[in-house]
Amino acid sequence: MTTTTRFEDLPSTVGSIIEGEPFRLSAEDSSAFERATWLDRAYPKGDVDEFPDDIVEGFFLLSMLDATLRFASGMDDSSMWGLNYGLDKVRFIAQVHHGDTIIPTFETLEVVPKDEGFKILRRCIFRVAGQDTPAMIADWWGYALPLGTVEKGREAPGVA
């Protein structure tokens, strides 16, 4: 069971590890991603023959970070909201194929005060069930702000 984390408790999450809900990506999911990101237009004839037909694109895996963390994190929406602050390092280490069960894990490495909020660094690891080698590792920064910090339509402090 995921416990709810309030904004003021974020610094105490350093060192915590959250395992997310396992998920699968299908050929239909990949096609939708390719359409949304214009990959279908960039590579209208498809990839080279050696590229497996059932492989999940690395950037598609990366795009799953936000949703899978959101489902797993237990962040209290009544006390904060967040923004993507950027990535320090991303590695695609092992292939993921359509239908593989992917297990996401998130470890909080740092929580640093910034303006009215906190920058949060997480090591995000996606593993394929039954494999020892991670498929993807990403060090990802988020920026959490308390509710009421920014007027709708205005720029968040510390972001630019």
DSSP conformational letter for 10 = G
19 forms beta bridges with: 105
What are 120-142's pLDDT values in tens digits?
999 999 999 999 999 999 999 99
Give dist(CA 121, CA 112) in Å, integer.
8
Q: What is the pLDDT of residue 1?
A: 43
| Percent of the chain predicted with pLDDT > 70 | 89
> What are the strands of the beta sheet with 80-92, ordered from one edge?
17-19, 102-114, 117-128, 136-146, 80-92
Give dist(CA 40, CA 128) in Å, integer.
26
Q: CB-based burial of residue 80 (10 Å sphere; 0-12 exposed, 13-18 middle, 19+ buried)?
A: buried
DSSP conformational letter for 154 = S
Domains parsed from the chain with CATH numbers: 16-146 (3.10.129.10)
Q: What is the pLDDT of residue 154?
A: 61
What are 24-36's pLDDT values in tens digits?
999 999 999 999 9
Q: pTM score > 0.85 for this model?
A: yes
